[in-house]
Amino acid sequence: MNLLLISNSTNYGESYLAWAMNQIEYFCEKTFLTAKTNIVFIPFAGVNIGGKAYPYSYDAYESRVKAVFEKLGYINFHSLHAFEKKAEAIKNAGCIIVGGGNTFHLVAELHKYKLIHVIQEQVKNGIPYIGWSAGSNIACPTLCTTNDMPIVQPESFKALNLVPFQINPHYLDPHPEIDKMIKHGGETRQDRLNEYLAVNQNMKVVGLREATSLWIMGNKMQLKGGKKMVVFEYNKEAIEYEPGSDVSFLL
């Protein structure tokens, strides 16, 4: 499999996907994408993109992401929402891209259109997969470590199960400072992940900080970006891994 799982699309003060452009470009080159490669973008996490409410936000989302990939020279770019036969579109894709937004809505739509197994089969057959935020979260067995509000009820929490661990995108360290005088005193991200692990004791969770990603090629996985990632397991001390680390043991 060839997967690029990105924590976030935008860093503060930067343009859309700017921080990840080099990684995306290099990943596309290494997976032999060309200008003619049929790229299929899945926009279903985008419920309120560009100030436009669902379902019109899909058009805005397509335009935003398409502009990025066209800059890289990939001009055969299509959004899945425009296809009547969605499963067939996925089967004809040379690359699958899944954007961020609301993970519950994304998973609900994938189940609605019976796309889970179709995407699984394509990616396991070597079709490159790029996801960020919700798009990274759904590469996991379930959506259960998302940060998103459950605005809809999916048929199932089951996701693509392309990796055997859970990702928490946008991972924030405990007790982030709200301002210079006040610190957060409630539940932290780590507290919530510990709750997940208490009832899923055999699972590992990767806290993927902003501006980091996981690059999977075959049976190898490497942490990319400028920050450490943290791995949580039930009843164990969390362990951090440096950027550039080989973290293939998680596979």
Active site residues: 133, 148, 170
State the first-to-last Cα distance of the chain, in angstroms, to the nearest integer.
11
CB atoms within 10 A of CB 201: 10
Phi first, then psi, for residue 231 (nearest 5°) are: -110, 125
* CA distances for 101 relative to 44, 85, 124, 163, 184, angstroms: 8, 23, 24, 20, 24
> What is the C-alpha separation between 167 and 169, in angstroms, rounded?
6
| Amino acid at position 227, single letter | K
Q: Of 172, 112, 99, 106, whose CA–CA distance to 142 is shortest?
A: 106
CB atoms within 10 A of CB 125: 8
